[in-house]
Structure 1
């Protein structure tokens, strides 16, 4: 098999999932990750549709379900904390806004890394240059010495370094990044972090609570997996902002100013935000490219086709994309041109559907007036009835809108052959 030495940039969800499948198909992946080590915590992500099938084929369903977060559904609350509308998990057979299978992003990433314990990880590093020739790619790292790889995969998120190096020219993307029309803003920003507040955690009663305030402000609080843990989120509508996405202190001040006096439990969330160790902030936006590959470089997950958190399908795209990319490389015996073309052919329709925003888009998520907030609550109360139920069911069904091929796995992986060779040599 050709082109077995593959660099995967990104150690979150998409990267380790791809490394898992590459290893099982006999490839030799290396994962590089900017963070100094595994990132704990994070918000809950859902497994639905085809992504559940991928996890089943990985043999990880039991492990994932053991780490699931207990959630009864989503409920809108008013300024006093009274529920104004609810969508229980059961309403859409476990495939609704809150899925039957909800797991913290950090927990899912840990499960995937555990499944790739024979893969080399380069922590606290990133790709700074790519030089492709007829035989491979010379990769320059920020810290490690330069190395040669046959192929490079960018699975490094919305702000992908690989996408910037291989696909983009200066232009003006999220947070002052460089995009050539690939990033499409949706008109808002969001943050997420963990708050340790046992009283608030008890008040949630296992519901994901969401609060809207005039001005396009949205606050969310949902249960964590550990006692007393609340997974908080703050979002708002806005014209484009100029900011340093690495300056947490400045971003926390921005949020404190935006949400001052917003009502409900927002003050408690802001207080917890100030000391949160997993604070993150980003824009609502999508990545749209004409092609997911260029030469020996290919993109996966948010790096290539982020649907935005509004769709709830980012994890599905990452897991399904990893499965297809590795499978097509194996089916083509490492012929990357054939494999990349087939990967895009299979993924493109799935991505296109996934990037269709739910009814109302950002306006539905963050209504800007008291009247629109009341209308949102009213529409949610009708989501279990015709015609809204059918509209929402079609949105949730997108997670399963792909037929996954069956890729045969070799009897013995590269890792097994290496181990056998070492035993024989000894």
Structure 2
């Protein structure tokens, strides 16, 4: 990315941010990274699609995992890497009241035709309690769009697309510039998604033979810009400690957490601070 132009809610330019504000030296689109990881592991890993874990039962030598569709299976350990709303975390750690904390921000994302001709550049349009961020990267004919706005809870994450789109339109009804055109494009997008900026705060990231990695255990919120990077770094740290622990998974889990927690704490602080730029609240609210 080369930089981001700042606009007010009417679409008038007010300033510019350097590339470092939203990007690193190398940016890899998430869908491409997923393809790469799948390709280099497919010969050694069994992938099961269209199923979900329904129960976890630990015993002396492993974990019995029950699935919604497939037959139950036995594993030495279970590593939950299933995102901010982790099913593994719910099953292994219980309700964990206050673990999921909302940053006062929700938003919709999608891609559309790059009618602005943006090339490795972005536009950030800000108004009271809302922000529109759009940028061109990767495919030159596509524009990535993100509508973010203040919310009291992540409840909209569990609603249907129509209700989510209506909430976005209401939040940006007074915006000028590119906003009206992009609100129209939102309804036509086939890659629409909606999510809230949340963090996960746990006193520990493992329980017996079950451990958490990435957003499942310590989400820093999308506003941190460290979701995928933090997950990959956490995975490497966990794997390294397991490899050197001579079969002592408890020692490996403890070393993994001790090594990574300061790094995660810093990323979560950055995520809270950045949430204010997109219309959110830097404070933490339990979901």
Above 0.5 in TM-score? Answer: yes
Structure 1 counterpart of 2:180, from 260, 263, 267 = 267
Which string of whole-angstrom CA distances, capped at 9 and with x for unpartnered residues, describes residues 256-278 of structure 1?
22222321211222122112222
1:159 aligned to 82, 85, 101, which one? 85
Separation in 2, partners of 1:192, 1:208: 14
- The equivalent residue for 2:171 is 258
Matches within 5 A, 1:246-325: 247-325=160-238
The answer to whether 1:207 aligns with 2:133 is no
Q: Which residue of 1 aligns with 2:41?
A: 116
1:117 positional shift? 1.9
How much does 1:308 deviate?
Answer: 0.8
Partner-residue secondary structure (3-state), 1:122: coil
Deviation at 1:300, TM superposition (A): 0.3
1:186 equivalent in structure 2: 103
1:169-217 deviations in Å (ceiling 9; x for gaps)? 2xxxxxxxxx52101111121221112x2323x1x34311110122x11
3-state SS of the aligned residue for 2:41? coil
| 1:303, distance to aligned residue in structure 2 (A) | 0.4
Shift of residue 244 of structure 1? 5.3
Shift of 1:298: 0.3
Match of 1:87 in 2: 17
* 1:357 match: secondary structure: helix
TM-aligned CA deviation for residue 367 of structure 1: 7.8
Report the TM-score when normalising by structure 2: 0.90
Contact kept? 2:223, 2:272, Cα under 8 Å: no
- Matching residue of 1:127: 53
Q: Contact 2:57/2:63 (CA < 8 Å) preserved in 1?
A: yes
Structure 2 residue runs of 5 or longer lacking an equivalent are: 282-287
Question: Aligned equivalents of 1:367 and 1:239: distance in 2?
Answer: 9
Instruction: List runs of 5+ in structure 1 lacking aligned partners.
Output: 1-70, 90-94, 170-178, 369-426
Alpha-carbon distance between aligned partners in 2 of 1:157 and 1:358, rounded to the nearest angstrom: 16
**Structure 2 equivalent of residue 14 of structure 1:** none
Match of 1:345?
Answer: 258
Instruction: Please tell me whether residue 242 in structure 1 is matched to residue 149 in structure 2.
Output: no
The DSSP-based 3-state class of the residue aligned with 1:250 is helix
Residues 193 and 120 of structure 1, relative CA distance in 2, 3 Å threshold: same
Asked whether the 8 Å contact 2:52–2:68 carries over to 1, the reply is: yes
How many pairs are equivalent?
280
Report the counterpart of residue 28 of structure 2 in structure 1: 103
Instruction: Give the alignment's TM-score, normalised by structure 1.
Output: 0.62
Shift of 1:307: 0.5
1:76 corresponding residue in structure 2: 6
Determine if contact 1:212/1:367 at 8 Å carries over to the other structure.
no
Aligned to 2:123, what secondary structure does the other structure show?
strand
1:109 alignment partner, SS class: helix
Q: Which residue of 2 aligns with 1:147?
A: 73
Q: How does 1:406-421 map to 2 (within 5 A)?
A: none
Paired with 1:285 and 1:207, the residues of 2 have a C-alpha distance of 27
Deviation at 1:131, TM superposition (A): 0.8
Instruction: Rate the CA distance shift 1:240–1:74 in 2: closer, same or farther, 3 A.
Output: same
